[in-house]
Amino acid sequence: MPFINFSKDEIQCKIVYYGPGFCGKTTNLQYIFSVTEEQTRGKMVSIDTKGDRTLFFDLLSMNLGKIRGMDIRVQLYTVPGQVHYDATRKLVLKGVDGVVFVADSLKVQRKKNIESLINLAKNLAEKGISIRAIPLVIQYNKRDLDESDSEILPLEILEKDLNSMLKVPSFSASAIKGHGIFETLREISKLVVKDVSRKIMFMDKQQARV
């Protein structure tokens, strides 16, 4: 649900990073926060527990420049990944305009990825949003573990598990090293802005008819 403010010439959108626990959603935001200039971003707000697990959400606000003379401001949110925090995830999804699904490449997390994606589809559906209609990007995180002893899933398996039906843009990434983070952000921002522009054009046409 974008907020289009014609008084301030500003569009506010909400992008949510979704995925299973410990997949690296917060690390994505922390990396973006650490390398972005202060003029283009706000403060990073985190509500987490002592064990570094997100309790409620993380939030980072960013300016993405202008389209059709209007400033685009996006708010990046993460959700808590643990299964029992479903009520919190539903709250954070309220008014969402785009989703980044962060998948964990670790082999042991294969089932958790699928469960989390199904949970996303269910929670969106409860809000009357189809997972096939909302701007969505999938990120395969922790690809750097390829060089370690940890067993990770090949990209083809992850694609088959998570993206064979959706066929949305996907990126391999290492949030901790910063690889693929901005590619993911750029793509989801592009999709959200395109979606909002389409809505504005539709409104223009409606107004022209009146």
Partner 1 sequence: MNVVLTKKDLEKIEGCLGKIISSSSTPLSVLLIDRSGQLIAQKGDTPADLDVMSLAALTAANFGATAEIARLLGEEEFTLLFHKGKSENVYFSSVGEHTIMVTLFNDQTSLGVIRLKMNQIIGELGSIVSCIFEKGKTS
HSE at residue 7, side-chain half, CA atoms within 13 A, is 1
Q: Which of 34, 50, 87, 210 binds partner 1 (CB under 8 A)?
A: 87
Binding marks (x or -) toward partner 1, 188..207, rule CB under 8 A?
--------x--x--xx--x-
Q: Do the Cβ atoms of 81 and 99 come closer than 8 Å?
A: no
Count other C-beta atoms under 10 Å from residue 45's C-beta.
13
Q: Which of 64, 70, 92, 136 binds partner 1 (CB under 8 A)?
A: 92
What torsion do the CA atoms of 86, 41, 181, 55 make, to the nearest 10 degrees? -20
Binding marks (x or -) toward partner 1, 47..86, rule CB under 8 A?
x--------xx-x-x-------------x-x---------
Q: What angle do CA 187, 191, 193 make, to 5 degrees?
A: 115
Q: Please, which residue, 34 or 206, has the CB nearer to partner 1?
A: 206
Q: Please, which residue, 56 or 171, has the CB nearer to partner 1?
A: 56
Amino acid identity of residue 167, one-letter, is K
Minimum separation from the CB atom of position 169 to partner 1 (A): 23
Q: Which of 34, 43, 51, 156 binds partner 1 (CB under 8 A)?
A: 43
Q: Residue 77 to residues 14, 57, 116, 169, 194: CA-CA distances in angstroms?
A: 7, 6, 16, 20, 20
Tokens standing for residue 50: 């002592």
In the DSSP assignment, the letter for residue 179 is: B
Closest CA to 12 of 35, 32, 33, 42: 42
Site for partner 1 in 13-42 (CB under 8 A): 14, 42
Q: Which of 35, 40, 45, 65 binds partner 1 (CB under 8 A)?
A: 45
- Contact set with partner 1 (CB under 8 A): 1-7, 12, 14, 42-43, 45, 47, 56-57, 59, 61, 75, 77, 87-88, 91-92, 94-96, 196, 199, 202-203, 206
